[in-house]
């Protein structure tokens, strides 16, 4: 955080992504949370997270990338769902690179 303080202020890791226009779609967000997107690996990851309260690293990255790259939903919306919001944020920052 000392090196990139803007990331703690809701700014993206890479400034070129500051103007991304996120979708606002509560239905898609709820389908993602419930594991009913129609993409088996994403659905399995989200359902496992719901049951166990955690998910493996690779499927966490798949679920996070699906949220921000395919659904174009702001990753911060997932913070209210995730048992480990910092890990979703980490996945999102890795996807930007």
The pTM score is 0.71
Q: If the chain, 97 residues long, is cut into consecutive pieces of 10 residues, what is the mean pLDDT of each piece?
A: 71 82 91 94 93 90 93 81 51 48
The CATH T-level fold of domain 23-96 is DNA Cyclobutane Dipyrimidine Photolyase, subunit A; domain 3 (1.10.579)
Under DSSP, the state recorded for 81 is T
Give the tokens for residue 14.
């890479």
66: Cβ contacts below 8 Å, ≥ 6 apart: 32, 37, 39, 42
Give the pLDDT score at 96.
46
Measured at the alpha carbon of residue 9, what is the angle toward residues 4 and 56, in degrees to the nearest 5? 75
- Looking at residue 32, its pLDDT comes to 93
What is the reported pLDDT for 39?
A: 97
Q: What is the DSSP secondary-structure string of 2-56?
A: -S-GGGGGT--SSGGGTT---B--HHHHHHHHHT-SS-HHHHHHHHHHHHHS---
Q: Where are the domains of the chain?
A: 23-96
């Amino acid at each position: 955080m000392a090196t990139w303080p803007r990331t703690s202020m809701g700014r993206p890791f890479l400034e070129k992504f500051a103007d991304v226009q996120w979708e606002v779609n509560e239905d898609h967000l709820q389908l993602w949370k419930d594991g009913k997107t129609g993409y088996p690996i994403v659905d399995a990851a989200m359902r496992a997270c719901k049951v166990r309260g955690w998910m493996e690293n690779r499927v966490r990255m798949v679920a996070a990338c699906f949220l921000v790259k395919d659904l174009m939903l702001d990753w911060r919306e997932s913070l209210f769902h995730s048992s480990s919001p910092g890990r979703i944020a980490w996945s999102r920052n890795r996807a930007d690179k």
